[in-house]
Structure formats: C-alpha cells, structure tokens
A = this chain, B = another copy of it.
Amino acid sequence: MALQPRNISDAGLRRLAAYHKVLQEMLLAGTPTVSATGIARVLALEPSQVRKDIEATGIAGKPKVGYPLAVLIRWIEDFLGWNNTKQAVLAGAGSLGSALLGYQKFRQLGMDIVAVFDNDPLKVGRTIHGKQVFFPDKLPSFALGAHIHLGVIATPASAAQATADLMVAGGIRALWNFAPAHLRVPDFVVVRNEDLYDSLASLTYKLEKRMAAERKAAAEVCAPVESAVVLLDACTW
C-alpha cells in the first residue's frame, strides 16, 4: 500500500507551505490528528486538492482520522527541505536587505544568511543584525570556500545581473531575486523572482476590474429613469 510518488506543481509547493502554517497553529491547539478535509476548510480549498498535495510528500493517512499532526508537519518540512538548513549569502544591504537580514524566521525555513555583500564603502566592514558586510568582489571566493549554494539579491535592479553572475561564479545554485530584473543564469541554477511589480500587476488589475464592475452595478441600479424613484434609497449618494 505504498503511496505512489507524484509530481508537484509550483502552486502545490506554495500550498504545502500554507498547510504547514495552519498545522503549526493546530499543534499549539493540541490537536493530535488532522484530515485533508479539515485543512481544506480552514484555507477554503478543495479537500481532494489538499490530499493530492499531501500525497506528494509520501506520507500515508488513515481513513476516518486523517494524518498524525506532528508527523505530517515533519514530512512537509523534510519534503520542502526546511530541516536541512542551507547557508546563504545576501547582496545589497539597503532597506529591503536589512529587513531580510533582521528576519529571524528564515532559520526555521531552512535558510540562514551568513554574510552580506554591498558595494557601498560606508557599509563595508560594519555589522548589520550581527552579520558582517563585505565588498561584492569577495563573494565568489567566500561562497566557494564555505560551500554556500543559496543567494539572495536585494541590490538595485541595475546591479542584479552582475550580482547574479558573481553568485553563480561562487557556486550558488539557487537565487532568490528581489530586484525587478530578469536574470540570465545557466540552466543548473534555480531562480525565484520575488518581484513586487509582478505581484502588484495582478492586484491592481483585479482591483480595477472589481471597482469597474461595482460602478457598473451601481449605475444599473441608479441610472434607469423609470425605476429611479423606487430605488432611490438603495443609493447612498
């Protein structure tokens, strides 16, 4: 009765992270087991989708009960690589970079930023959130020597490609890019763009569509002359 291994989509990986958060809250509440149905209810998803995502981790559940909570959390963490902490380097110690540096929770998510690189002479040599700042030209040898494979880019967009090149030269295999720039890297490097432009795009598009729909609906209710009197009190202006 072994579970068959499944491919998981990017969306599925993100959902697993969401389940992880929900599960930890449930753990605090003392629940011993959890069902896919239960998770789905909290996150407003389809139970079968939650089950499929969880299947990807390889854990087996029991009918009628679900999954043992603590074990499921552990399997998700193992599956996502969060129990195998990876050291990381950060480039760009500006306002965003500093915020990332000060963010304690990354450790729990398998990432530990161990060094910072910035080309501002005023910042080099100083310490930010306990991490020393170096010149970017030291990055490749440092990363190679420390066997670091994860890099975070928080430089201006104009410096992002050069920074990525340095990181790749330093043996970095995964890039977390916060600059609004498209990076060209070799095939063996994974890139995740955390581009706020892209995110805002869908938000502003949907907001605009929604507001337009509301204006239209309001117009339909209030505009027709023949029903104006009847519907007047439905309009608040």
Contacts and interface: CB of A to CB of B under 8 A. Distances in A.
Interface of A: 10, 13-14, 16-18, 20-22, 42-44, 79-82, 84, 86, 95-96, 98-99, 102-103, 105-106, 109-111, 149-150, 173-174, 176, 180-182, 184, 188, 190, 192, 194-208, 210-211
A10 B174 CA distance: 24
B14 A82 contact: no
A195 B17 contact: yes
Contacts of A79: 205
A19 B134 CA distance: 34
State the number of copies, please.
Answer: 2
A184 B173 CA distance: 37
A207 to B, nearest CB: 4
A203 B81 CA distance: 9
Contact of A174 (B16, B95, B149, B203): B203
A81 B205 contact: yes
A197 B17 contact: yes
Contact of A102 (B42, B95, B190, B205): B95
A199 B11 CA distance: 10
Contacts of A21: 180-182, 197
B188 A200 contact: no
Given A18-B198, A21-B197, A149-B211, A203 B182 contact: no
A204 B22 contact: no
B198 A14 contact: yes
Contacts of A17: 195, 197-198, 200-201
Contact of A206 (B82, B174, B196, B197): B174
B197 A109 contact: yes
B80 A204 contact: yes
A22 B176 contact: no
A79 to B, nearest CB: 7
